C-alpha cells in the first residue's frame, strides 16, 4: 500500500479538498444520516440508557484508575492459560514482535481481523517490509486495501465509497492478489459481498497466522473479546494455527462481569443493532481447538501520555463505536481523511493530540495541533458517546495546551495578538465602549464598499478583502456594526425610559 496519512496538511487545508468532493459529500451525508437514524431508534428502545452509559463509563474509569494492577493481572491470567504476552512501548516495537512471530513460522502472509490498533501502528506496511503480506478480511477494510486507499471511518472505513465505486475496485484489483471478481459483477450489495466471500475464503483456509486486535481484555480471566458483524473475524480467530492480538493497554477491564454494560452499549451505539452478529471470546490456548499458539501484544504507543493528562484521560474510555463520527456535523461534511489519522472525527480530534502530544515542531506537529480546532463545539458527540466522554471539554482543554505551547514564541501569531487585544478591551467596560464607538465608525466606512442589504433591511458588508474579514465574508454577508451600541443607547436614554415611543 502506498497511501499514507504521513505528511498530511493541517485540518483546514485538508478539509477544503474534501468539501469540494461532491461524491464524497453525497456518500457521507447519506451514510451518516442512515446510521444516525438506526442508532437513535435502537437507543430509544432502552429505557435505562442513561444509567447504562453511567455504568459503562464507571467500568472503564475504574479500569483506568488502577491500570497497572489490571494489566499485570491480565498478563498473569493469559500466561497461566498458555498465551505469550509481549509489551510494546510504541509502534515499532509492536510491529517487530508481530513480524518475528510470523517469521518464526515461515509465514509470508497473515489474515487480519479488523483492528484499529494495527491500523494505528501501520502494521500492514511494516509487515510488507519483511516480505509478509497482510490480508484485510473485513469487507470495508478489504475495499480500502484493494483500492490502495486510506480508512475514513472507525467502523465503516470505506464509508466514503459508494457501491458503484466498490464494484470498480473489485473488478480492477482483486485479481492481482488472489481470486478475481467475476466478470459479470454488478453493484448489488449481495453480489459484491459474494465476490468478497469467494475472494477471502481461500485466504482463510490457507493462512497459518492470523492477526487481530481486541475490543476488550478481561484481567481476571485472561479472556480477549472481539465484536464483529461479518464472521470474517471468527474465521481468523479459529482457523489459523497461530494468533497474534495487538491490544491497546486501555482495553483491559477488571472482571468478566464488567463486559455486561459495554457489550450492551457497543452494538447499539456502533452499528445501530440491538446485538452484534458475532462475539468471539478466547482465553489463551484451548488444546485441540483453535489456534495452538496465542500471542498478545500489549501496546502503549502514547496511551500513558494520554493517561497522564487529567482532563484528557477520559478519552481512554473510548470503545471505538464511532457514534461520535456519525453524529458530528464536521465529520459529515469533510469525511475522515481530512483528520490525517486512522482515528478521525471528534474522538480522533482528541485522541491524536493526547497520544502524540501537542506543540511538536514541523508539519506533523502542526497537523496534530489543528485537530482540536476541527470542531464547532456543538456537543453532539458527547450526547451520543456511550461512555460519556466529554469531548467538547477535552477539545477546549487541548486548545489551551496548543496555545500554551506557543506562549514562548518570539513572533506571536496574529490570533494571539487579537486575543490579547480582546482581553484588554473586555477587561474594562470603558475600553470596550471606545472600541464599540470605533467599530460603529468603521462599520459605516466598510459598508460603503461592497455595500449590501440584509433581508429585513439592515445594511451589511458583502465581500471584504483581508485575512479574517475575507474568511467570513467570502460566503456570508456581515451586518454592519450599528451606529450606536447597546451600552451607548442605555446611557443616552436611561435604559429606554427617556426614549420616545418606548413602552
Partner 1 sequence: MRVALMVTCVNDAMFPDTGKAVVRLLRRLGVDVEFPAAQTCCAQPMVNTGYLDEAVPVVRTFVDAFAGYDAVVTPSGSCAGSARHQHGLVARRSGDAGLAAAVAETSPKVYELTEFLVDVLGVVDVGAYFPHTVTYHPTCHSLRMLGVGDRPRRLLENVRGLRLVDLPQAEQCCGFGGTFAVKNADTSVAMGADKARHVRGTGAEVLVAGDNSCLMHVGGVLSRQQAGVRVVHLAEVLASTEEGVGGPSGHPQVERAREEQR
Residues between 17 and 56 that touch partner 1 (CB under 8 A):
19, 25
Residue tagged 446485538 (cell numbers): 275
Is residue 485 a contact point for partner 1 (CB under 8 A)?
yes
Three-state SS for 250-266 is: HHEECCHHHHHHHHHHH
Q: Which is nearer to partner 1, 12 or 189 (CB)?
A: 12
Which of these ranges, 57-65, 166-174, 220-228, 486-494, lies near partner 1 under the rule CB under 8 A? 486-494
In angstroms, what is the minimal distance from the CB of 491 to partner 1? 7
List 6, 486, 498, 500, residue binding partner 1 (CB under 8 A): 486
Q: Which of residues 100-139 bind partner 1 (CB under 8 A)?
A: none
Query: All 3 cell numbers of residue 125?
Result: 506496511
CA 390 vs. chain centroid, Å, equals 14
Question: Starting from the edge strand earliest in sequence, which strands make up the sheet with 252-253, in order?
Answer: 252-253, 216-218, 223-228, 278-283
CA–CA distances in Å: residue 317 to residues 190, 351, 387, 396 = 36, 11, 7, 18
List 333, 357, 364, 450, residue binding partner 1 (CB under 8 A): 333
Q: Which is nearer to partner 1, 15 or 143 (CB)?
A: 15
Is residue 363 a contact point for partner 1 (CB under 8 A)?
no
Q: Which is nearer to partner 1, 115 or 375 (CB)?
A: 375
List 145, 356, 382, 387, residue binding partner 1 (CB under 8 A): 382
Q: What is the distance between the terminal CA atoms of the chain, rounded to a whole angstrom? A: 72
Q: Which of residues 433-472 bind partner 1 (CB under 8 A)?
A: 435-436, 439, 452-460, 462, 468, 471-472
Q: Which of residues 392-411 bind partner 1 (CB under 8 A)?
A: 396, 398-404
In angstroms, what is the minimal distance from the CB of 56 to partner 1? 20
Q: For 457, how many CA atoms within 13 A lie in the half-sphere containing its CB?
A: 0
* Packing angle, helices 189-206 and 163-177, rounded to 10: 30
CA–CA distances in Å: residue 283 to residues 187, 231, 279 = 40, 19, 14
Q: Which of residues 194-253 bind partner 1 (CB under 8 A)?
A: none
Which of these ranges, 150-158, 256-264, 273-281, 427-435, lies near partner 1 under the rule CB under 8 A? 427-435
Q: For residue 456, what are the contacts with CB-CB under 8 A and spacing of at least 6?
A: none
In angstroms, what is the minimal distance from the CB of 188 to partner 1? 30
Residue tagged 474568511 (cell numbers): 471
Is residue 377 a contact point for partner 1 (CB under 8 A)?
yes
List 420, 434, 442, 451, residue binding partner 1 (CB under 8 A): 420
In angstroms, what is the minimal distance from the CB of 365 to partner 1? 15
List 380, 385, 387, 389, residue binding partner 1 (CB under 8 A): 380
Determine how many CB atoms are found less than 10 A away from the CB of residue 18: 20
DSSP codes joined into one string, 392-452: HHHHHHHHHHHHHTTTT-SS--HHHHHHHHHHHHHT-HHHHHHHHHHHHHHHHHHTTSSEE
In angstroms, what is the minimal distance from the CB of 191 to partner 1? 33
Q: Nearest to residue 236, comparing CAs of 204, 282, 192, 194?
A: 204
The Cα–Cα gap between 35 and 397 comes to 30
Q: Which is nearer to partner 1, 44 or 496 (CB)?
A: 496
Could you give the string, one character per residue 147-166, with x where binding to partner 1 holds by CB under 8 A and - elsewhere? Answer: --------------------
Q: Which is nearer to partner 1, 262 or 338 (CB)?
A: 338
Is residue 368 a contact point for partner 1 (CB under 8 A)?
no
List 58, 133, 432, 464, residue binding partner 1 (CB under 8 A): 432
100 neighbors 84 (Cβ within 8 angstroms): no
Q: Total number of residues binding partner 1 (CB under 8 A)?
A: 79
Q: Which of residues 301-330 bind partner 1 (CB under 8 A)?
A: 329-330
Kind plus residue range of the DSSP H or E element containing 164? helix 163-177
Could you give the string, one character per residue 164-203, with x where binding to partner 1 holds by CB under 8 A and - elsewhere? Answer: ----------------------------------------
In angstroms, what is the minimal distance from the CB of 378 to partner 1? 4
CA 202 vs. chain centroid, Å, equals 32
- What is the biggest distance separating any 2 CA atoms in the chain, rounded to whole angstroms? 94
Q: Which is nearer to partner 1, 274 or 434 (CB)?
A: 434
Q: Which is nearer to partner 1, 21 or 241 (CB)?
A: 21
Is residue 339 a contact point for partner 1 (CB under 8 A)?
no
**Three-class secondary structure of residue 88 per DSSP:** strand
Amino acid at each position: 500500500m502506498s497511501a499514507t496519512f504521513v505528511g498530511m496538511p493541517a485540518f483546514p487545508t485538508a478539509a477544503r479538498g474534501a468539501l469540494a468532493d461532491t461524491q464524497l459529500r453525497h456518500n457521507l451525508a447519506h451514510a451518516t444520516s442512515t446510521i444516525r437514524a438506526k442508532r437513535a431508534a435502537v437507543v430509544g428502545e432502552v429505557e435505562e440508557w442513561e444509567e447504562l452509559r453511567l455504568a459503562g463509563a464507571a467500568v472503564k474509569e475504574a479500569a483506568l484508575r488502577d491500570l497497572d494492577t489490571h494489566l499485570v493481572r491480565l498478563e498473569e491470567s493469559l500466561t497461566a492459560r498458555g498465551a505469550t504476552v509481549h509489551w510494546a512501548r510504541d509502534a515499532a516495537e509492536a510491529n517487530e514482535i508481530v513480524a518475528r512471530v510470523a517469521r518464526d513460522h515461515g509465514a509470508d502472509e497473515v489474515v487480519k481481523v479488523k483492528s484499529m490498533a494495527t491500523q494505528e501502528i501501520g502494521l500492514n506496511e511494516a509487515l510488507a517490509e519483511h516480505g509478509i503480506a497482510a490480508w484485510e478480511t473485513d469487507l470495508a477494510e478489504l475495499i480500502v486495501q484493494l483500492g490502495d486507499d486510506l480508512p475514513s471511518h472507525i467502523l465503516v472505513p470505506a464509508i466514503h465509497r459508494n457501491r458503484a465505486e466498490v464494484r470498480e475496485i473489485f473488478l480492477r484489483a482483486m485479481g492481482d492478489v488472489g481470486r478475481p471478481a467475476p466478470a459479470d459483477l454488478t453493484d448489488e450489495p449481495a453480489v459484491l459481498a459474494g465476490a468478497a466471500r469467494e475472494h477471502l475464503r481461500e485466504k482463510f483456509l490457507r493462512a497459518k497466522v492470523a492477526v487481530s486486535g481486541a475490543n476488550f481484555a478481561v484481567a481476571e480471566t485472561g479472556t480477549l473479546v472481539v465484536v464483529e458483524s461479518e464472521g470474517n473475524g471468527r474465521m481468523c480467530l479459529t482457523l489459523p494455527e497461530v494468533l497474534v492480538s495487538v491490544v491497546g493497554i486501555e482495553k483491559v477491564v477488571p472482571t468478566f462481569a464488567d463486559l455486561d454494560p459495554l457489550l450492551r452499549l457497543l452494538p447499539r451505539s456502533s452499528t445501530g443493532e440491538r446485538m452484534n452478529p458475532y462475539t468471539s471470546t478466547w482465553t489463551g490456548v484451548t488444546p485441540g481447538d483453535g489456534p495452538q499458539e496465542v500471542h498478545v501484544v500489549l501496546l502503549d504507543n502514547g496511551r500513558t501520555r494520554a493517561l497522564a493528562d487529567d482532563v484528557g484521560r477520559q478519552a481512554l474510555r473510548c470503545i471505538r463505536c464511532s457514534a461520535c463520527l456519525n453524529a458530528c456535523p464536521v465529520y459529515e461534511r469533510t469525511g475522515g481523511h481530512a483528520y490525517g489519522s486512522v482515528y478521525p472525527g471528534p474522538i480522533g480530534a482528541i485522541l491524536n493530540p493526547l497520544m502524540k502530544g501537542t506543540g511538536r515542531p514541523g508539519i506533523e506537529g502542526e497537523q496534530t495541533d489543528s485537530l482540536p480546532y476541527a470542531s464547532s463545539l456543538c456537543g453532539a458527540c458527547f450526547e451520543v458517546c456511550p461512555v460519556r466522554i466529554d469531548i467538547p471539554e477535552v477539545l477546549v482543554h487541548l486548545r489551551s495546551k496548543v496555545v500554551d505551547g506557543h506562549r514562548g514564541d518570539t513572533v506571536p501569531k496574529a490570533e494571539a495578538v487579537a486575543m490579547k487585544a480582546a482581553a484588554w478591551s473586555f477587561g474594562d467596560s470603558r475600553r470596550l465602549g471606545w472600541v464599540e464607538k470605533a467599530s460603529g465608525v468603521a462599520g459605516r466606512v466598510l459598508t460603503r464598499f461592497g455595500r449590501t442589504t440584509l433581508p429585513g433591511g439592515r445594511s451589511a458588508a458583502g465581500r471584504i478583502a483581508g485575512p479574517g474579514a475575507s474568511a467570513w465574508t467570502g460566503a456570508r454577508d456581515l451586518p454592519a456594526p450599528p451606529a450606536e451600541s447597546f451600552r451607548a443607547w442605555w446611557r443616552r436614554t436611561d435604559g429606554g425610559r427617556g426614549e420616545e415611543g418606548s413602552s
